[in-house]
Structure 1
Amino acid sequence: MEFYENRAKAPFHIFVLVGRWMRQTWRAWRTRQVLDRLSDEQLKDVGLRRDDYC
């Protein structure tokens, strides 16, 4: 039996993809939270407006 015949690749790959999606979603949510706390002047210093990320 070859090594590629006895390994479960596909089922675990799904868990990796779901984990990546959850991490990206959490980071986007956290970034929006931080940006919401900034004042308009602080956003201007960064080079953003409220319309850019909402």
Structure 2
Amino acid sequence: MGYEENRAAKPFSVTPWHLVRALLRYFRKLQQRRQTRQILSHLNDLQLKDIGLTRSDVEKLR
């Protein structure tokens, strides 16, 4: 068995591209949460009850 076959993998091989992708994913998630909160905040209490939420649940999403 050679050296290359026995060598452990690099545990933290993070490149700048990985960081950029992680930041883009993070900002997309923030935008999706904001849109979800906005949509849910326009529903009335009966509509929220139909989907199993309350007004306080929507406010907790912030």
Q: TM-score range by the shorter chain?
A: 0.7 to 0.9
- Listed as ranges, the gaps of 5+ residues in structure 2 are 1-13
TM-score (norm 2): 0.70
- Listed as ranges, the gaps of 5+ residues in structure 1 are 1-8
RMSD: 1.0
TM-score (norm 1): 0.80
Aligned to 1:28: 33
Q: Which structure: greater helix fraction?
A: 1
Give the aligned length.
Answer: 46
**After the TM superposition, which parts of structure 1 deviate over 6 Å for at least 4 consecutive aligned residues?**
none
Which has the higher relative contact order, 1 or 2, with Cα contacts under 8 A spaced 6 or more apart? 2
